[in-house]
Structures are given as C-alpha cells and as structure tokens.
C-alpha cells in the first residue's frame, strides 16, 4: 500500500476533493495539519479528514481549539478571529449553524498527534527535524518551527540525521526538497496549490486551488 502525505488544506474542500481524486485508490493518506482557517469550508474539511484519514495537529488547529469557543459563544475577539492572515473568521462562519459538530471537532483536536514516524520518515506540521531528539518535550516547536527561522535550541547535528522530515506550515511555490527534508505546503491557503508527496518515490501530485474555496 502506498502512503501519501498531504500539505496544508486550509478549509479548501473543493480543492481537496480534486486532489483526492488524483491519489491512488487504497493509498494510506496522512495530512500534516492546518485543515482549517482562511478557506470557506473548514468544518467540511475537518469532518472529511478526521473521519476517513489520518492527520497531525497544525498550529491553526491549536488556535482554533483555544479561541473558537470564546468567539462563538462569548463574543470575544482575538487575533485569530479578527486578523485575515490567521483566517479564523472563515472557520467561525463555517460552524455558525452547527455547534454540535463544532464541539465534536473541538474534542478531537487535543487528541491529534504532533508527529508520526513511518518507515524512516518523520512527519510534522512545522519543520521538526532540529527537534527530532526532543520531540516528546518540544511538541509546540513541531508545529510552529520554520526552516528559515533557526533557533538556538536546534539540535546541532540535524543536517546529518538519517530520518527524512516531511513538513508543511511554510508555503513554497513548489515542494521544497533538501537532503533530509521535504516541505510540502504549496500555498493552498494563499490561493496557490495543494500538494501531496508519496513516501519513498517522492512523487508529487499537485492541483490548483478551486476558486470556490476562497470566493
């Protein structure tokens, strides 16, 4: 069975459905998080992915878990709900008439894994490779870290690790391939593309964003 890893979807259900049709039948499909925010259909994306596939927790799921109940129930605002860069307002709108589904989804978020290790691959939402040996204690860094923003607590030998880190979080114009890492977020949340990579072969399948997801 092939395994495919999908980058950040950001509420783009039509784009996601288009990509899924291109992936092999019976493949194991794993998402790297950031299912929600920015696009119009966060509720639908979260429901589809968590009911039929596997997913990690991204930083946008973390933000949703911490802020959406205050926003919807108590009318409190936050950067997540008011700043278009975060896109939380679109997520709030997608749940506006369905609080039962919202609460069910909220309960799932803390249970989502921060990383997975599969056949020599280290799957994280953010660039997790420099925290590989600290992955049980530096869990926040696994979904917020970026390749372009090194920190003093990065492990010195990460560039020689044999494991290959596949990550999302940072949008690139095309998948980014390094010696022991692959960045697979190709900007779906910014109106660009949604991409998936196959383990071992590193074949890429990408689709353009469907305009309905962000209209």
In the predicted model, is pLDDT for residue 72 greater than 80? no
Q: pLDDT tens across 181-195, in order?
A: 999 999 999 999 999
Distance (Å, rounded) from C-alpha 29 to C-alpha 210?
21
Structural domains of the chain, with CATH:
3-213 (3.60.21.10)
The mean per-residue pLDDT over the stretch 137-160 comes to 94
Q: How confident is the model at residue 111 (pLDDT cuts 50, 70, 90)?
A: very high
Please give the mean pLDDT across all residues of the chain: 96
Q: What is the pLDDT of residues 73-88, one digit of tens each?
A: 777 888 898 999 999 9
Asked if residues 203 and 197 have their Cβ atoms less than 8 Å apart, the reply is yes
The pLDDT tens digits for 9-25 are: 999 999 999 999 999 99
Q: Is the pLDDT of residue 112 over 80?
A: yes
* 3 Cα distance to chain centroid: 16
Distance CA 134, CA 20 (A): 33
C-alpha to C-alpha distance for 115 and 18, rounded to whole angstroms: 26
**pLDDT band (50, 70, 90) for residue 164:** very high
Work out the average pLDDT over 96-101.
Answer: 92
Assess whether pLDDT exceeds 90 at residue 135. yes
Q: What's the CA gap between 104 and 109, in Å, rounded?
A: 9
pLDDT at res. 78: 87
Are the beta carbons of 139 and 114 closer than 8 angstroms?
Answer: yes
Q: What percent of the chain has pLDDT over 90?
A: 90
CB atoms within 10 A of CB 172: 17
């Amino acid at each position: 069975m092939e395994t495919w890893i999908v980058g950040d979807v950001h509420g783009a259900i039509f784009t996601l459905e288009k990509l899924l049709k291109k992936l092999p039948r019976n493949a194991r499909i794993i998402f790297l998080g950031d299912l929600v925010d920015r696009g119009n259909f966060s509720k639908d994306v979260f429901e589809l992915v968590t009911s039929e596939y596997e997913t990690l927790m991204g930083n946008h799921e973390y933000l949703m878990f911490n802020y959406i109940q205050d926003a919807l129930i108590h009318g409190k605002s936050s950067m997540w709900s008011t700043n278009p860069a975060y896109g939380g307002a679109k997520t709030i709108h997608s749940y506006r008439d369905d609080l039962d589904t919202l609460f069910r989804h909220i309960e799932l978020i803390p249970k989502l894994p921060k990383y997975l290790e599969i056949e020599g691959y280290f799957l994280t939402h953010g660039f997790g490779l420099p925290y590989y040996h600290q992955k049980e204690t530096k869990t926040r860094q696994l979904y917020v870290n970026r390749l372009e923003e090194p920190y003093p607590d990065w492990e010195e030998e990460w560039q020689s690790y044999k494991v290959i880190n596949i990550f999302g979080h940072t949008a690139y114009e095309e998948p980014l391939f390094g010696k022991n890492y692959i960045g697979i977020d190709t900007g779906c949340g910014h109106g660009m593309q949604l991409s998936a990579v196959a383990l071992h072969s590193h074949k890429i399948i990408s689709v353009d964003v469907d305009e309905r997801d962000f209209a």
